[in-house]
Amino acid sequence: MKSLRSLALLATLALFVVSCAKHGTPTPVDGLTVYTDQVRDFSVKTPTGWFTQKVPGELIVVHSSKEAARRFMSYGKGPAGCKIEYRVVRLDSTRTIDTVIQRSKLEFEDNLQRGTVTSTTFAGSPAKKLTLEFEQEDGTFKSETYFVQKDTLVTVLYFGAFGGTYKDYASTFDEILKSATIAKDRPKVEVKKDTAAPRGPEPPSDTLRNYSAPEFSMDIPQNFQGMKSTSAGVISSVNMVGSRLDCNIQVDVFDASKQNNLDKIIEQNKAKYGTSPNSTTLGGQKAAYFSYGGGQVTSRAYFTVKGNRMYRVTVNIYKPDQGVYQPIFDKCLGSFKMK
């Protein structure tokens, strides 16, 4: 009996060790840079050199890498990335701090929302904190989101990390939290807006314009921008995006001189997307795409090859606005041409 108990104890310890071994590699934080917003008069520190997107007066979001940004849209497989987001939300008759918190909870396929709300302080003011934690194949995902209301604005500060790496960023998160200030109403310096225009993010324009890059061209909504970036192993990378950062078309071009067999490329990417591919065409060429995504964003990643170039076109759409964005994005994809 003693032997059996010993074996059971050893088995339990083994499972504990395996569980603890699930830990990704955190991205180094090489100092923090202070971002100051002139529209809402707030400031917040962010890691220097990380992938950054911002909308003055509304948002600054920083990811440890572009690949990490994609994972935060789907909560699927990917690098043990980190995300820091500062968002300003204006309240109205239907939007309160409680509804902002409720909509910040994650909802999975079981239709159950995750997250625990507690009271805390943020920038010296009473605040709420939403804590979320769940297990994935590469370790624990954890996030903490802080909410504080001042006048008609709610300031939201989010920290999240995959692969059990949240604790590796704990001191950085703490410094950012202590340094952040609360957004303010500053009507005198706000950009004047058409009062007849709808509130919230501007929908994609029905009028398309041609965007041309050295490796490709495509039509995009008139009110979208082509934001270029660089990363290792990519010949060209352009993000077509409007006022909703989670509704975009990302075009990445890779050197395929060592492997330009589309079937083999698709096979190599199956594990990354965790779904089966679908056959299609893109730019008049044979292509395939993976459908994936969880939470509030649905995504597709298209792959095709022309000569010694491999093209990956990623489409992300915020699910509640899919009826608005999908028809426009389909037209954009239909116009895609490789050079």
DSSP 283-310: TTEEEEEEEE--TTEEEEEEEEEETTEE
* Residues of the chain scoring pLDDT < 70: 1-21, 107-114, 186-200, 230-232
pTM assigned to the model? 0.56
Give start-end residues of each CATH 3.40.1000.10 domain in the chain.
Answer: 22-179, 208-338
Region of 332 please: left (phi>0), alpha (psi -120 to 50) or beta: alpha
Sign of CA dihedral 168, 162, 102, 193: positive
Measured between alpha carbons, how far is residue 192 from residues 87, 184, 185, 186, 189 in Å? 20, 17, 14, 12, 9
Determine the CATH number of domain 22-179.
3.40.1000.10
Q: How far is CA 219 from the centre of its chain?
A: 24
Would you state the pLDDT for residue 186? 66
Would you state the pLDDT for residue 200? 62
Q: Measured between alpha carbons, how far is 212 from 219 in angstroms, rounded to an integer? A: 9
Q: Measured between alpha carbons, how far is 298 from 106 in angstroms, rounded to an integer? A: 14
Domain 208-338 coded CATH 3.30.750.24: no
Would you state the pLDDT for residue 108? 55
pLDDT digits (tens, 9 = 90+) for 207-266: 999 999 899 999 999 999 888 876 667 898 999 998 888 899 999 999 999 999 999 999
Q: Measured between alpha carbons, how far is 123 from 113 in angstroms, rounded to an integer? A: 28
Backbone angles phi, psi at 98, to 5 degrees: -70, -40
